[in-house]
Amino acid sequence: MSEEVSRATSGGADDRPGCPTDRAALSQRKTTRSHKPAGRPVERGANGTWHVRGHPQARAVLRSADTKQAGFNAELLEGLPQRMRPPILYQEGQPHHEQRRGTARFFSPKTVSESYRDLMEELAGAAIRRLLRKRRADLDALSMELAVGVAAQVVGLTESRLPGMARRLDAFFEGDVTGFGWNPRAILGFARNQARVAAFFYLDVKPAIEARKKEPREDVISHLISLGYGPAE
């Protein structure tokens, strides 16, 4: 029996114990090319949706001052008070370009290497030590913690009243923000999402704003405060 198993798993199979996979037969390509014709560079579908497939055309659309944000429920911002400036994510045209230029220094390769490399290595080392100690880990949670740990330093979210900002952010992003309805399930979901937003603001954002008003630092929150942005923005 053992000889039959040996013959069945030989001939190109991985010779490591317990691995019957013929790794030589597996494709090493990370992506596959589509052989489906791309069609016209710009085309309007039967339902009125425009399809932009050509690279020059797509670049022109994305760079156009007439292109408007349509993701992250951007249409809901129309209900905000006019005195409030929209968040950077939703800004359009010149204000968007100015904010991009103003915050670019926080994300440049030189800044990342000089200011955040040690932090990245420290967080990665702590994650590895925790993995070796527990001998198991949720890779999604691990990646989220590393990303939030670095992003928090860049943005300035370093004064949280309670630990667990990564979990609060994860819960916020997992929420259904597709809209509001009057059925009980939609109302409950809306209330839950608002509670998550409030928890993140009061536990993580508000303390950071208060600290930067007293002592500005080289981060995004200090930059926005210097431009006159308020807590609600």
Q: What is the pLDDT of residues 90-111, one digit of tens each?
A: 777 788 888 888 999 998 999 9
- Where residue 177 sits, what CATH number does that domain have? 1.10.630.10
Do the domain assignments include residue 29?
Answer: no
pTM here? 0.67
Q: How many domains does the chain have?
A: 1
In a domain, 231, yes or no: no
Question: What is the reported pLDDT for 7?
Answer: 42
Classify residue 173: in a domain, yes or no.
Answer: yes
Of residues 144 and 179, more confidence is placed in 144
User: Alpha-carbon distance 145 to 139, whole Å?
Assistant: 10
Burial of 119 (0-12, 13-18, 19+ CB in 10 A): middle
- Using 50, 70 and 90 to split pLDDT, how confident is the model at 77? low
- pLDDT digit string, tens, across residues 175-219: 655 555 678 887 888 888 888 889 999 999 999 999 999 999 999
| Helices 165-174 + 139-155 axis angle, to 10 | 110
